[in-house]
Structure 1
């Protein structure tokens, strides 16, 4: 950073706590531009994922295959946090019924507990994580255990999972089935609950962290739960239309279309009033106009509107007074 140059968003933070699915990659493929945006930057990188289907080593190997230099120690998964929650509440050697992959079962072993797959093996807890192989039979075993009083921990409750083919059922969809069958609520390890974010902050040793993700209901809400700044990137699940009337806990500090914008000035990405954009209240509406001479960027208009929408009392409509404002308003109203 040169003298007189405003700091980039990356420069303001010592560690980026990055979501994976929908932020860095989708399925087997890196999101275009993500590798170039992250490799060689000044901030250290930690990858924080709700997906409990793979081990930290497998995630690190996949990232390296995609061109992201990553060590196993730089991957923090909800399966690790779920296992920690179990270990804190159970005696060593206790049986835990695992709904999920062998990677989740291994995390259970690593904290001194015994993974099992059947109710008749007397589990005192159930841990549930994403697996494409989850079916009725294992859900039935878990239901029997939970109805008998077993502790229930879910790695996460994301209802959908971004893939290269689109959104598919996530772990939360399977959790919903068990909830319906038992009338119980699980302890949740992953975002937006605190355990995963607490583990990521502790392991990274960050003093000025930035959470980066694509979902307001998990990544951004998780950042707000632990009181750290966040960047929403529009490469995955959440859109600008989700933000307009988002509850306070779902609101990011910064907004960008893609990871490459980490090197833009932080003030440019901040959700605040931007030059050349006017947002005023008329009766129950917000009215947006843009200065033709300054030709503000479409996302700058969005950031300005969000700042006004979140700062004041409720509003009914959103109106634009020129073509640039109209384009941004169209995005916001979906």
Structure 2
């Protein structure tokens, strides 16, 4: 698939687990939330694996090692090997290794996953700006990171040392709610230095490159819950995507999405990976629903499943918005769908 201005969701006569060889799955909000499996995730992924689809888990969280993530997935009932897990730590480590001498010292602010990824690339993590680092890298390290770690990064970046970030997600979901993500920590160093980092994680191309290198996928399908990371990352990589509504993105945000945030497919949860997807007509028809833009709002008529109604609304909204965001009132139409 190449980038284009999508005006409606795509259809697929085959179930998606047969139409694509590899699912590139986000974790938080897709497979689990707060450490517990999301409803239908374990069964759906088991079925997809049984039918021959490769499952790869692609996460912007750079704090945990692939071994830790794989063990967590296996504990939830989703058997996984460390090789099935691709992290933004691995992507940023490769990005740095391409630009500094072999064995170079890298001032590292993050968790064990970032340290391990750097060592895998033959780089040497250090903790001080006085260790003469060739690069500075930040990755999510959890609540244990102290203010002094950000100060060390700022000292080095201010001296002109190249600066890298695993990702710039401002928030991260937790079992207690939404917490500050690595992007918030990156802002601390940006404010102190006025510099801009090179970013590796979703939606940037280095993450997609890392994923393809490690999986060898020929017909990948990105599966995620965030428009600005998962879906935009698929758009930037020129591949199709499936949005599931079990995480951050709600129906209203999907309708308002600009072109780079419009998924090829949409489903309520990971069961959508196992199903064909209906063709959505240019006239806003899907299943038993018809959607249209009238008098500044989206109007929905007919009957059928809620997700088919949402697909029809996407066609009406994205067609009207063209290359921008849809500003039409969708409140009554979404209320009819229980969304």
Same fold by TM (over 0.5)?
A: yes
Question: How far apart in 2 are the matches of 1:248 and 1:48?
Answer: 22
Is the counterpart of residue 26 in structure 1 residue 33 in structure 2? yes
Kindly report which structure 2 residues correspond to 1:148-297, keeping only aligned pairs within 5 A, or say none. 148-267=159-278, 273-283=285-295, 285-291=296-302, 295-297=303-305
Relative to 1, partners in 2 of residues 1:179 and 1:326: Cα closer, same or farther, differing over 3 Å? closer
Instruction: State the superposition RMSD in angstroms.
Output: 2.2
Contact residue 214 and residue 235 of structure 1 kept, 8 A: yes
Task: Indicate how the Cα distance of structure 1 residues 268 and 256 shifts in structure 2: closer, same or farther if over 3 A, else same.
Answer: farther
Query: Whole-Å Cα distance in 2 between the matches of residues 180 and 79 of structure 1?
Result: 23
Q: Shift of the alpha carbon at 1:32?
A: 2.0
Instruction: Sort the Cα spacing of 1:178 and 1:313 in 2 relative to 1 into closer, same or farther, 3 A.
Output: same
- Please state if 1:109 is matched with 2:119: yes
Measure how far apart 1:313 and its partner are: 4.4
Provide structure 1 residue ranges, at least 5 long, that are not aligned to the other structure: none
TM-score of the two chains, using structure 1 as the length reference? 0.90
Relative to structure 2, which stretch is displaced further, 155-164 or 274-283? 274-283
Distance apart, 1:326 and its partner CA: 5.3
Say if 2:292 and 2:313, in contact at 8 Å, map to a contact too: no
C-alpha displacement at 1:123, in angstroms?
1.2
Check the 8 A contact 2:306/2:337 in 1, yes or no. no
Shift of 1:312: 2.6
Q: CA deviation at 1:201?
A: 1.8
Choose from 100, 121, 124 the match for 1:90: 100
The aligned runs of 1:27-106 (5 Å cut-off) are 27-41=34-48, 42=51, 43-106=53-116
- The 1-side partners of 2:281 and 2:101 are apart by 47
Q: Tell me if the contact between 1:286 and 1:318 (Cα under 8 Å) persists in the aligned partners.
A: yes
SS in 1 for 2:232: helix
In the alignment, what sits opposite 2:128?
Answer: 118
**Secondary structure, counterpart of 1:105 in structure 2:** helix
Change over 3 Å in CA distance of 1:313–1:172 after alignment to 2 = closer
Given that residues 211 and 231 in structure 1 are in contact (C-alpha distance below 8 angstroms), is that contact kept between their aligned partners in structure 2? Answer: yes
Please say if residues 9 and 264 of structure 1, whose CA atoms lie closer than 8 Å, have aligned partners that are also in contact.
Answer: yes
Distance 1:251 1:326 in 2: 18
Off by >6 Å, runs of 4+ in structure 1: 268-272
Question: CA-to-partner distance for each residue in 1:88-147, whole Å, 9 max, x for gaps?
Answer: 000112211100012211211221211111111111211110011122100000000001
Deviations 1:68-94 (A, max 9, x none): 111111111111111101100001122
Relative to 1, partners in 2 of residues 1:287 and 1:65: Cα closer, same or farther, differing over 3 Å? closer
Q: What is the count of residue pairs matched by the alignment?
A: 320
SS of alignment partner, residue 241 of structure 1: helix
Where in structure 2 are there 5+ consecutive unaligned residues?
1-11
Structure 1 residues 304 and 269, CA gap change in structure 2 (3 angstroms):
closer
- Report the CA distance between 1:9 and its aligned residue: 2.1
Structure 2 match to 1:305: 313
- TM-score w.r.t. the length of structure 2 is 0.88
- The residue aligned with 2:9 is none
Q: Name the CA distance, whole Å, in 2 between partners of 1:100 and 1:263.
A: 37
C-alpha distance in structure 1 between counterparts of 2:164 and 2:98, whole Å: 12
